[in-house]
Amino acid sequence: MSEMIKDISLVDYYERVTIDNPRDTESCIRLKKTTNARICLGRAGDRCKTETLLKFRADHGVAMDAVWSEVDETIVDQLGFFKVQTLVEDKEQYIKRPDLGRIFSQETLDGIKDNCIESPDVQIIATDGLSACAINANLADIYPILMDGLTAKGYTIGTPIFVKYGRVATMDQISEAIQAKVTILLVGERPGLATDESMSSYMAYESSTLKPESQRTVISNIHRKGVPPVEAGAQLVNLVELLIREKKSGVELKM
């Protein structure tokens, strides 16, 4: 009976070395644990090995799936997020029309004003971005840390808002609608070939559509093998304190 073909997506490539007869396997493993780069792979003649190619194609497939994935809305419901949607009607339009993913209808903005806390110190927003998997993987871990940290420092916190089919610029319209001091946007990053769970956090002081993108301060690579969400949450709380004290963010903020 022939051997079953193993599922290559289940192999830990942070440790697996595929060089034939490496001189120092332990050193290769230590190097691989420091980076997502595809190193210590070996080769077959002047080409990559079949295993290397299959792993690359598997990771590319994961990235493609992440782009078309949807946020599990039971997560945002359990955390008490107020849900809104941009002008995008479906995932295909979201991919083809980035401009529509940055804006809301007037009706939606009125709904935000009517249902969300006005003039909070901190407004938290989550949106799918280009990897809903990232929100599914990280939101439930980072949100309680944010809430506990911000509450402990005495800040007023706005009604959390989930934006379906949203892009980063939605934070500007929401901030203007409710007059938040600091706005935090948690968004799924464009997936690469390392993970589909990487999330970014964009922050801005008095975020506004009239300001350039450089108004934003960013923490990226938030996932269990990057910046762990619990650690990122603590960093965000410290940054909120800095933004409110300095009354600025982005490139104007001297770190």
Is the separation of the CB atoms in 188 and 129 below 8 Å?
Answer: yes
Same CATH topology for 25-68 and 73-252? no
25-68 CATH, one of 3.40.980.10, 3.90.1420.10, 3.30.70.120, 1.10.30.40: 1.10.30.40
**Domain chopping of the chain, boundaries:** 25-68, 73-252
Range name among 37-51, 90-104, 145-159, 201-215 with the lowest pLDDT average: 37-51
Contact status, residue 143 vs residue 64, Cβ threshold 8 Å: no
CA dist 112 and 148 (Å) reads: 24
Statement: residue 4 has pLDDT above 80: no
Task: Categorise residue 250: left if φ over 0, alpha if ψ from -120 to 50, beta otherwise.
Answer: left
Predicted local confidence at residue 6, as pLDDT: 73
Tokens encoding 135: 């929100």
Span 105-127, pLDDT tens digits? 999 999 999 999 999 999 999 99
Q: Is 3 annotated as a binding residue?
A: no
**Which phi and psi angles does 18 have, rounded to 5°?**
-115, 15
> Which whole number is the average pLDDT over 27-37?
89
Identify the CATH assignment for 73-252 out of 3.40.605.10, 3.40.50.11240, 3.30.1360.120, 2.30.42.10.
3.40.50.11240
Which pLDDT score is estimated for 139? 97
pLDDT of residue 5: 63
Asked if residue 131 lies in contact with residue 62, where contact means CB atoms within 8 angstroms, the answer is: no
Whether the predicted pLDDT of 3 surpasses 80:
no
Band of pLDDT at residue 11, cut at 50, 70 and 90: confident
168 annotated binding-site participant: yes
What is residue 106's predicted lDDT score, i.e. its pLDDT?
Answer: 97
- Residues pairing with 201 in the sheet: 186, 219
Q: Tell me the sheet residues that pair with 205.
A: 182
**Predicted local confidence at residue 9, as pLDDT:** 75
10 phi and psi angles, rounded to 5 deg: -95, -5
pLDDT beyond 70 at 197: yes
pTM of the predicted model, to two decimals?
A: 0.87
Q: How many Å apart are CA 217 and CA 207, to the nearest integer? A: 11
Q: How far is CA 251 from CA 32, 145, 149, 179, 205, in A?
A: 33, 26, 25, 22, 12
How far is Cα 216 from Cα 238, in angstroms, rounded to an integer? Answer: 15
Sort 56 into a burial class: Cβ within 10 Å, 0-12 / 13-18 / 19+.
Answer: middle
What's residue 63's pLDDT? 85
